[in-house]
């Protein structure tokens, strides 16, 4: 299952560096890989592959995750998308 998390950050480089320090959190979310991207106006996205969507959401909504996001400079506008459909032209 793929999950995308979009957010606004103070600084993209700070977010990228901080994101990569939370391996234990991502392991508890059953994430096997995360793809990162950003725009020039400090909007970022992480697309994560998880084997357990329920556990992903449980950990994502935990206070510790909010603290980690704050540490990484996320300023607001966090959105979660479950990628549950596809199209192959």
Instruction: List C-alpha distances in Å: 66 to 20, 24, 32, 86, 87.
Output: 16, 15, 21, 30, 33
| pLDDT of the chain, 89 residues: tens digit per residue | 999 999 999 999 999 999 999 999 999 999 999 999 999 999 999 999 999 999 999 999 999 999 999 999 999 889 999 999 999 99
Q: What are phi and psi of 33, to 5 degrees?
A: -160, 150
Give residue limits of the domains in the chain. Answer: 2-83
* pLDDT for res 1: 96
Please give the pLDDT value at position 77: 80
Question: Is this structure's pTM higher than 0.85?
Answer: yes
Q: Return the CATH fold of 2-83.
A: Alpha-Beta Plaits (3.30.70)
Q: Which two tokens stand for residue 36?
A: 């990162």
Using DSSP, state whether 17 is helix, strand or coil.
Answer: helix
- pLDDT for res 76: 80
pLDDT of amino acid 21 = 96
């Amino acid at each position: 299952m793929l999950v995308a998390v979009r957010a606004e950050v103070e600084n993209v480089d700070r977010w990228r560096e901080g994101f990569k320090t939370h391996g234990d959190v991502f392991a508890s979310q059953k994430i096997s890989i995360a793809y990162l991207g950003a725009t020039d106006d400090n909007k970022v996205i992480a697309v994560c592959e998880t084997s357990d969507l329920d556990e992903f959401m449980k950990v994502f909504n935990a206070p510790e995750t909010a603290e980690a996001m704050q540490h990484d400079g996320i300023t607001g506008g966090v959105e979660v998308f479950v990628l549950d459909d596809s199209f192959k032209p």
